[in-house]
Amino acid sequence: MGIVVFNICDRVPVRNPQSRTGSVHSVFATSFNVEFSGELVHVGTDEAPLSCFGMTVGAKEMAMLVERVEPGDAVHCRDGVMRIYSRADVSELVYGEAAVRSLAVPHAVDSLAGADVALLRVLTAADVVEHIGLPWPDRSRGAVAELARFSVSCARLAGMAKSTYSKEEVHARYEASERAMRGSVEYLLGRGLGLTPSGDDVLCGFGCALHLLYGTGSLIAPYLDAVRHALPGRTTAVSEAYLRAMTAGCANEDFVALAADLTAGEFEALPDRVERIFQMGHTSGADSLLGFGAAFGCLF
């Protein structure tokens, strides 16, 4: 009997009815990645948030899998089953009946009144900059500030923020902030060490919040284009997968939940939500929250 997959993101390429052939890309303590023609699929446990390009199995089953599989092992997917051909055995992950989850970031069509203040309060209390992986303040602080400035310009152009500027001035300031934002993307992308460099995590968090605040329209298109343009060859394969998912409007389960809390005005849930996100990786959670907060004007 195969290993049951509990949840699978709707973006995972193996959901396509055509058979897919790939290989194990990387193996970690409680998860692993499989690569299919340049696309990664993350296999994690149901005790961790679902990845925006992943699926989950039970913790006991994962403990067995990470002992068996190795980078380079052949993988074949067909008829809702992923087969991993290791030296020790063939492992079967049955995903055909898994719960399909959308991890699209919700767009807050109504005003998020008070969300910026609530988020700033929680991030300040958590001392977010003491946990990030970027050198601080250094140039990183200026780069994050320019991202925040771009978000403010988006809000003004959308009529979501009060402004004393004329329509022409608002457009001019948006264009200026766009140029500065592109410089920040170039600076941050790939900056830092690890599986997902800190600068990339900041960009993912910021993009997630932009989707929440402004949807997927033309306002944030320059940011998404800047990330896509800068990506090739600049960072790790895992980080690139997360950034590409972000440009498609998706995020990991915990950030989608954070966005839902803010949209619903459930600010009392923020401390626990932020604390859970802090547990992501060594500094990934804090780096992502720094970027997310910047879109709301939370600067440190």
In this prediction, residue 161 carries a pLDDT of 66
Does the pLDDT value for residue 162 go beyond 70? no
| For range 78-104, the mean pLDDT | 96
Q: What H or E segment, with its residue span, contains residue 26? A: strand 20-27
In this prediction, residue 72 carries a pLDDT of 98
Residue 4, both tokens: 């049951």
Does the pLDDT value for residue 84 go beyond 70? yes
The one-letter amino acid at 133: G
| For range 22-26, the mean pLDDT | 98
Does the pLDDT value for residue 110 go beyond 90? no
How many other CB atoms sit within 10 Å of the CB of residue 20?
Answer: 18
Does the pLDDT value for residue 81 go beyond 80? yes
* pTM as predicted: 0.95
In this prediction, residue 194 carries a pLDDT of 85
The burial class, CB within 10 Å (0-12 / 13-18 / 19+), for 67 is: exposed
Per residue in 217-235, pLDDT (tens digit) is 899 999 999 999 999 999 9
Does the pLDDT value for residue 280 go beyond 80? yes
Q: Give the DSSP per-residue string, 105-171.
A: PPP--S--TTHHHHHHHHHHHTTGGGS-SS-SSHHHHHHHHHHHHHHHHHHHHTT-S---S-HHHHH
In this prediction, residue 88 carries a pLDDT of 82
In this prediction, residue 39 carries a pLDDT of 95
The one-letter amino acid at 172: A
**CB-CB contact of 248 with 97 (8 Å):** no
Report the candidate in 101, 105, 165 with the shortest Cα–Cα distance to residue 295. Answer: 105
| For range 239-250, the mean pLDDT | 98
In this prediction, residue 148 carries a pLDDT of 98
In this prediction, residue 1 carries a pLDDT of 64
| For range 79-102, the mean pLDDT | 96
Q: Give the DSSP per-residue string, 197-232.
A: -HHHHHHHHHHHHHHHHHTTSTTTHHHHHHHHHH-T
**Rounded CA separation 94/79 (Å):** 9
Does the pLDDT value for residue 18 go beyond 90? no
